[in-house]
Structure 1
Amino acid sequence: MLDLYTAASFVLLLLALAGSYLPYIIPFQVTLSDAAAPPASQAFMFWGAGLFVLPLIVPYTCVAYSVFRGEVSKDQAYH
């Protein structure tokens, strides 16, 4: 139980540190809106990568898992 509290406090402390920097990426120099890509680039990534490439990656990954499926014997495992 102590490990759970330790992990939760670590995550909360990191979130608090990240929140203290908002809205600055580099403190007091570059804001989040200054660091963002232009809207045209964001639209290209959404339509190109998000709606075209990602649907191709998912079936490829499924095929790769089906090709290499099977149980590995204990003497061939990494552990």
Structure 2
Amino acid sequence: MKSEWIATYEGSEIKVTNGWFTGEKLFINNELQDEQLNFITPSQMTGKLKTKNGAELNIKTNLSGFFSVSCRLFVDNKKVELQQTK
């Protein structure tokens, strides 16, 4: 089963995917930033988002759950809402 969450932040698309065999992946504007293959421990991934004015913002995501997976996204330590698309 594959899950996917998407958020838009200052015009950039942030996507997090989770699959049984493909693991967890963090994409920013379709560029892979981080990936992990965890079966039991909670997943934590990080990346960088470059804003239109050239500033770099820190991105971090947390995935957790067993039967149902949930995802949280933080941009510069502020929680950003995600929409689950799959």
Give yes or no for TM over 0.5: no
RCO higher in structure (CA 8 A, sep ≥6): 2
With the length of structure 2 as denominator, give the TM-score of the two structures: 0.17
The structure that is strand-richer by fraction is 2
Q: Which has the higher helix share?
A: 1
The structure with the larger Rg is 1
